[in-house]
Amino acid sequence: MDADTQLRTVADYVDRAKQLLPGETATGMFGGASNPGTAWTDARNAEGWRDLELRPHVMVDVSSRSTATEILGLPVSVPVVLSPVGSHVRSHPDGELASARAAGEAGVIMGLSTVSSYTIEEVAAVASGPLWFQLYVFRNRSISAELVRRAVASGYRAIVVTVDNPGTSSEERRFRATKRRAEHDVFPNLRGIPGAEQLGTTKFHESLDDTFNWHDIEWLRGLSDLPLVIKGIQRGDDARRCEECGVEAIVVSNHGGQALQYTRPTAEVLAEVTASVGDGIEVLVDGGIRHGTDILKALALGARGVLLGKPLYSGLAVGGADGVRDVVGILQAELGAAMSLSGVTDVRAVPRDLVGHRLSPGRPVPGDPTLAAELEL
């Protein structure tokens, strides 16, 4: 690649992926005129990070810095998890096999979606780093139980239960689904599972269990000894409830704008969530993370790490495993630079007050009256 075409930022990767992918696929992933709510929520997520100001310390010896940490006890080179997103083959024919290789090489965790294009076992066979399995809860619970059993047998290290997408099929959603190409007649992970023979792209949403509720955490616990990660938390009180239920980690997430649209930016929700829970639960966040400073801000607001959805799809679309590794590498380099310019030497000890107030005048960091008072906002 010559200097003009070299991709230097995650935004470059996203722009290039939008050019490379077929229009229908790009719109499905990134939003667009036919689904403006997704595009709006996605843009607001990114703005949420951008709008937070940093308050750097100076005159700190930053000659030795580390971006390494642990997420649920798993060592990572940078606090990043590749978010579980469906059907990676939409981006690249090697799909999740390439992503898993890249994650291992980059030293980060990879989350595999229930609706992946390669199976739990195929991905485990090529992965050199830790894998998490993302579970959707089907009306036919035995399907979900079987998926967890296979994830355990294949050495996955956590079960991520996505709770922001409970199978409700809105009119708009149905309309969009009919417009979309049916990517899978049956999702690869579901082939051969009794009762799941028909579960492909078109029947997916109606097959999810919309009765799933807090009491079902006990059922999830009974499926395996793996740590539970609840993904899709958007309120402090729900986060606290997860902690009370003994869940090991949560992901503050609005599904990158793909579930309920017109929700708050996750940066804003994160501040409320971390102010609502204690040390008994790890808090992760995703949505609009596009730069190393976004990660630094998330850590300052109390997150243990961040997940990447569209940046993962974009890296994969542009360069397969190399592209995904490069996206993680760019974020790691940017995070390292931001740390050195902020007087931070260790990602495990980013001070809370490194993040000040929002750029919008007079708007304090939501959910944190203490900090707002300290800063006399």
Q: Looking at the annotation, which residues are catalytic? A: 255
Q: Nearest approach, Cβ of 266 to ligand FMN (angstroms)?
A: 8
Interaction of residue 255 with ligand FMN, rule CB under 6 A: yes
Amino acid at 362: G
Scanning the chain, the segments in alpha helix (DSSP H) are 10-20, 23-30, 36-50, 95-106, 120-126, 141-153, 171-179, 204-207, 216-223, 236-244, 266-276, 292-300, 310-342, 369-374
CB hemisphere CA count around 19 (13 angstroms): 6
Interaction of residue 134 with ligand FMN, rule CB under 6 A: yes
Q: Nearest approach, Cβ of 354 to ligand FMN (angstroms)?
A: 22
Rule CB under 6 A: choose which of 308, 321, 335, 350 binds ligand FMN: 308
Site track for ligand FMN across 158-187, x = CB under 6 A: ----x-------------------------
Rule CB under 6 A: choose which of 83, 99, 201, 276 binds ligand FMN: 83
Interaction of residue 29 with ligand FMN, rule CB under 6 A: yes
**Residue pair 107/77 in contact by the 8 Å Cβ criterion:** yes
Rule CB under 6 A: choose which of 27, 35, 45, 154 binds ligand FMN: 45
Question: Which residue matches tokens 């495993």?
Answer: 321
Q: 99-122 as b/e, with b when 16 or more CB fall inside 10 Å?
A: bbbbbbbbbbbbbbbbbbbbbbeb
Using the rule CB under 6 A, give the single segment among 96-104, 141-149, 217-225, 307-315 that binds ligand FMN.
Answer: 307-315
The C-alpha atoms of residue 181 and residue 186 are separated, in whole angstroms, by: 13
Interaction of residue 288 with ligand FMN, rule CB under 6 A: yes
What DSSP character marks residue 120?
A: H
Question: CB-wise, 35 or 274, nearer to ligand FMN?
Answer: 35
- Judging by DSSP bridges, how do beta strands 109-112 and 131-135 pair with one another? parallel
Where does this chain bind ligand FMN (CB under 6 A)? 28-29, 42, 45, 83-86, 113, 115, 134, 162, 231, 253, 255-256, 258, 286-289, 307-311
